[in-house]
Chain A
């Protein structure tokens, strides 16, 4: 673990304070024109979803030393399920079939869509369907002791295959156009200020709950076992622990958190399409975590917020510059700050000397904690 207890106190306090400021700021909009614009509230909400997603990856990577390059799949799954519910509720008021179904020549929703009329069913599905897929995939992978780089690239292949599948129109989920045309959520029109505030508040609460829950979880016996898997899995196995079920539990939990993030994200952007399943999206999530620093969730949140803020800003200011900035950021972090930005803060010396040391250590091939 990252010496979380002593270092974490200040960071937790600061982060929670930041979040607690963001939520009322977003809420101020309700009171009048004092607060943020709808766009800004929306951006905050989206960034919170990304932070949640980054935490789900960090649970595996920082917690158990397993890098997933396929969390875009679970994120998108949550999003698709939420989108199905939103389309059903939109249909209940407008009675207009979504474009992609009309395009496929259907006159009504396929039967199983009716299940998504009910909010409790949808909420359960958001957790269970990605959880189940994660379970099956994790079981076959962990059972045959696929780990490290191997596991990372197989998860990448998984999300790539899912992307190809979802790009097809006859898969039945909107093909390359995806699903859009949502009407409202909880009675509030989608795209309006109230819905944006509601979703942003929900996302922020989800981040806070996951942060607290995750910290508690890492401090339990389960969390310590995960850390042991990260540091030396063969030894743990040799001592008689069945690491399969430990890894599997963390993996499914992580997938569910990612799915919740996706379900909160999709109503905010108003569309879901298979581009979320592109392997580069999943790689970008890992970059957020690497930038912020692995383990303990703070880094994941900070990384997701920072990288995405830069991305939002650059996408508007200089779109063609973003890939260069991202790639150079990746190389800088990987080479100079092996543990991300938390590395800097964790040290007592000035940042500049620190950076120099990072370079030197990288040069010596400093061992990576865990990961084979």
Chain B
């Protein structure tokens, strides 16, 4: 073992030498780095002293120049520099910066004075210090500086995002490279996206033509009307007139954005029209079935809608008390409750009042109006006149941007789906079940249906309950979209009549088409001529249409 050890020791001699040499080299390297770092530190200190000299300088101009120096250095600044800049800018803003006549700076802290260059305690600070006052223009600069530093150095992404939006207000005043540097220093996706937007904004002002063109092209990808306005404002830029390349890119970008904004506008018009139409459909469907079957107009239909919304509210309150954890599910839990309550109410109305008035349809108008008055005032007395407050469940909040300014909102989408489901459900009930067969039979010829053994009175009662229940579901679908108060039904009843008159009595498909049509006409006209003009035009259209098709769009078969 010892022999082997000696032999090994001999062989290791050159290796030791090498290690020693390496050690020496490392020491020299460290010394060199230390020397360079010290020089760097010295240079940084020199820069810092110069900046402080400007900040502490006399008059209005020198401090602003100092702020400009800090700003210009930010894109290439190290973390240490950033921390220093943050402290100094904050000190200037809070008036804790103290300036000696010689131009050296100190910062007053609760623990005593510190040197403004090294940020180390400075017990030897002179006594004749003054604190520079940031005037209004300086304050603006300081705010912008604070934001620029925060973009690079703030610990929280939210703070960085806020800083980006502050900077974006005057993207032309940000030093080049700042946003790019900030982009390298963040891992957060939304901060990065905001910074990319800022870079595009900045490059739009860039003197480099290719950068401008690229920025315009990038900006055009975001097809919203905000972009359109941004691009439009660029036309006022002198470069637009001067440079054909920029002009071409800009024109192309505007055309592109404008096309998609228009497309989005058309789509959102359609979407809003369909959503308004589905609400109309929900309030008209029950009216149409009842009118078709019995020749009775139920003026209390709007109030059944209102009751449906109030039952929804009651369900919400009950769930809030007994099972708060499932509160957000209340719209779903309310569906059967609302249907049953309003259907029963409808059956009671039919049984006590309507039943006695089948041969006197004009009197049913008055009777159902009396019922609606009664219901409104009963609800007013028991719930009050104020609008009810509904909790919007998280799955009905917000929406998704599609194209241009077209935004699909979940609550409207839910109303549309609800209406479609009600349409399909009712259609299936009328077409596929025996009760539906009886309802259709009585609608077509009441006497003949009675002759072949259908209990027309029972069918009337069931159909009235169905119509009332559907109106109640309409109220449920409305509750996240409209104001819910005791008189809300009166707003819907006349529009619902229009739908029934236009669509044809007792025709479900006609009702759906008419509801969509009136919804689209209302929504389509409203932005241009106002809601009132939309109503006037809808009424005129209906009167004209009645000239051409007195029975409505889709006339019911059979004789009444």
Per-residue interface assignment for chain B, residues 512 to 538, with 1 indicating a CB less than 8 Å from any chain A CB and 0 otherwise: 000000000000000000111001100
Distance (whole angstroms) from the CB of B177 to the closest CB of chain A? 54
**Interface pair A335/B356, CB less than 8 Å apart:** yes
* Distance to closest chain A CB from B347 (angstroms): 17
How long is the Cα–Cα vector from A257 to B367 in the complex, in angstroms? Answer: 26
User: Chain B binding site: helix, strand, loop or mixed by DSSP?
Assistant: helix
State whether the Cβ of B36 lies closer than 8 Å to any Cβ in chain A. Answer: no
Which parts of A310-351 form the interface with B (CB within 8 Å)?
Answer: 320, 323-324, 326-331, 334-335, 338
| Docked-complex contact A328 and B501, CB < 8 angstroms | no
A283 and B362 within 8 A (CB):
no
Partner of A149, one of B361, B376, B494: B361
Which B residues touch A143, using CB under 8 A? 547
A141: Cβ under 8 A from any B Cβ = yes
Give every chain B residue within 8 A of A145 (Cβ-Cβ). Answer: 550
Name B119-146 residues within 8 Å CB distance of A: none
Asked whether any CB of chain B lies closer than 8 Å to the CB of A246, the reply is no
CA distance A143 to B550 in the complex (A): 10
Determine how close the nearest CB of chain A comes to the CB of B446; give it in whole angstroms. Answer: 12
Residue in contact with B361 in the complex, picked from A61, A290, A368, CB distance below 8 Å:
A368
* A152 contacts partner chain B, Cβ-Cβ < 8 Å: yes
Tell whether, in the assembled complex, residue A290 and residue B501 are in contact, meaning their CB atoms are under 8 Å apart.
no
- Pair B370/A161 contact, Cβ less than 8 Å: no
- Whether A334 pairs with B357 at a CB distance below 8 angstroms is yes
Say which residue of B299, B362, B501, B535 sits within 8 Å of A371 (CB atoms): B362
A146→B358 contact, CB < 8 A: no
Of the listed stretches A45-53, A232-240, A358-366, chain B binds A358-366
Q: Which residues of B contact A365 (CB under 8 A)?
A: 355-360
Alpha-carbon separation in the docked complex, A363 to B359 (Å)? 11
Cβ–Cβ contact B360 & A338, under 8 A: yes
Of chain B, the residue at the smallest CB distance from A66 is B362
Which residues 449-499 of B have a CB within 8 angstroms of A?
Answer: 490, 494, 497-498
The 8 A CB mask of A142-172 against B (1 = contact, 0 = none) is 0111101110111011101100110110000
Contact string against A for B residues 331-373, beta-carbon threshold 8 Å, 1 for contact and 0 otherwise: 0000000000000000000000101111111111111011101
B365 touches A152 (CB 8 A): yes
One of A144, A149, A153, A327 near B377 (C-beta < 8 A): A327
CB <8 Å contact, B543 and A335: no
For A144, give its contact among B297, B299, B362, B547 (CB under 8 Å): B547
Say yes or no: A327-B374 contact (C-beta < 8 A), given A335-B367, A368-B363. Answer: yes
Instruction: Give min CB distance, A277 to chain B, whole Å.
Output: 12
List residues of A (185-202) whose CB comes within 8 Å of B's CBs: none
Please measure, in the bound complex, the distance between the C-alpha atom of A372 and the C-alpha atom of B296, giving whole angstroms: 10
Taking CB atoms, residues of chain B closer than 8 Å to A335 are 353, 356-357, 367
- Tell me, yes or no, whether A279 is within 8 Å of chain B by CB: yes
> Closest residue of chain B to A290, judged by CB?
B366
Kindly report which residue of chain B lies nearest to residue A162, judged by CB atoms.
B536
Q: With A143-B547, A371-B362 in contact, do A330 and B497 touch (Cβ < 8 Å)?
A: no
CB distance from A291 to the nearest CB of B (A): 10
B366 near A286 with CB under 8 A, answer yes
> Would B359 and A334 count as touching, CB distance under 8 A?
no
Rounded to whole Å, the gap between the CB of A343 and the closest CB of chain B is 13
User: In the complex, which residues of chain B have a beta carbon less than 8 angstroms from the beta carbon of A167?
Assistant: 532
Q: Are B546 and A144 in contact (CB under 8 A)?
A: yes
Binding site for A on B (CB under 8 A): 291, 295-297, 299, 353, 355-367, 369-371, 373-374, 376-377, 381, 490, 494, 497-498, 501, 530-532, 535-536, 539, 542-544, 546-547, 550
A sample of 27 inter-chain contacts (CB < 8 A) reads A67-B365, A140-B547, A143-B547, A149-B364, A152-B362, A153-B365, A154-B497, A154-B501, A154-B546, A156-B494, A164-B532, A164-B535, A165-B536, A287-B366, A323-B374, A326-B370, A328-B370, A330-B373, A331-B370, A334-B370, A335-B353, A335-B356, A335-B357, A338-B360, A365-B355, A365-B358, A368-B362
Q: A144-B550, A331-B370 are in contact. List 5 more A-B contacts (CB 8 A).
A: A149-B291, A161-B536, A165-B536, A334-B370, A338-B363
